[in-house]
Amino acid sequence: MRFAVLGAGAIGAYVGAALARGGADVTLIARGDHLRAMAEHGVRVQSPRGDFEAHPAATSELTAIADADVVVLGVKAYSLPALAPRIGELLRPDAVVVAAQNGIPWWYFQRDGGPLEGRILESVDPGGVVSRAIRPEQVVGCVVYCSTEIAAPGVIRHIEGTRFSIGTPGGQPNDVCGSIAAAFTAGGLKCPADTDVRPQIWLKLIGNAAFNPITTITRATLGGLATSPHAVGFVRTVMEECAAVAGALGIELPVSLDRRLEAGLAVGDHRTSMLQDWEAGKPLETDCMTAAVVEIAGMVDVPVPSVQALHELTKAVEELRDA
């Protein structure tokens, strides 16, 4: 099974290195100094579970996905609409796309069997451009429970977590998911194949939609956030609103809000991916998180005033930085 990792940044390079360590045929697609370092020296992973190196192929060419059986999408969600038409052209008919991205994915209402079946989310799939390019039968959803950072070009600092939950939009078990799970497991990762990954999507989202924007606005690490009762209280309010939207969709969360809140704060001295992006001058992943929650809330008639306010404030922080 041949893998291509499109967007081999902090998460993508870690996954690619793990897959290569497990014996998979992997090509990393990246750019800039990070690409040059990986091409010359491989990927070096620093991890509390043990450091390791791997030397998968590395390129800047998107055409590398044309030879892949599995394309792991490590690009940010906001980058996907522009890339999707070309991805669709290059994908082999029998290839699958593992959507390892934050927030609500473009395929969320594909084959869900509910009253919103087939609805397009403009916040993540404007005009349905992604849905037209990547067929539902080619999609494998993925929820990433893993924290990593690029410590230096070609060097990934793995902080915690090795779990990547996968599943198809319709929940049908298939041989492809089994093969993907086996390759991830061989590389030292956990990769359960779920019959329905949507509860896992929401479990992660209710934390990310609160923690990521709030840490970006306050410039605090997750551990630092825990020292402010007001911040923790607002995180809880945002999480409760997100959970209400999930509940209106019939989603039963696998763990309690209290446990999700505790687990997020317990990560400690870690800057969320959104805070890292803000500091690096990169666009922020607000549309797939807070904007998507607000959009779905409108569909199911659930008020989310705190999520809406948080979305506007985070957009303002981004605009003010760029100005």
Task: Give catalytic status of residue 204 as yes or no.
Answer: yes
Distance CA 159, CA 221 (A): 13
Of the candidates 245, 243, 238, the one whose C-alpha atom is nearest the C-alpha of residue 297 is 245
CA–CA distance, 6 with 75 (Å, rounded to integer): 6
- Asked whether the beta carbons of 187 and 22 are under 8 A apart, the reply is yes
Give 137-189 as a DSSP string.
GGEEEEEEEEEEEEEETTEEEEEEEEEEEEE-TT----HHHHHHHHHHHHTT-
Q: CA-CA distance, 98 to 15, in Å (whole number)?
A: 12
Q: Which of 76, 204, 282, 315 is catalytic?
A: 204
Token pair for 121: 């989310």
- Helices vs. strands in the chain: H and E counts, helices first: 12, 9
The catalytic site residues sit at 204
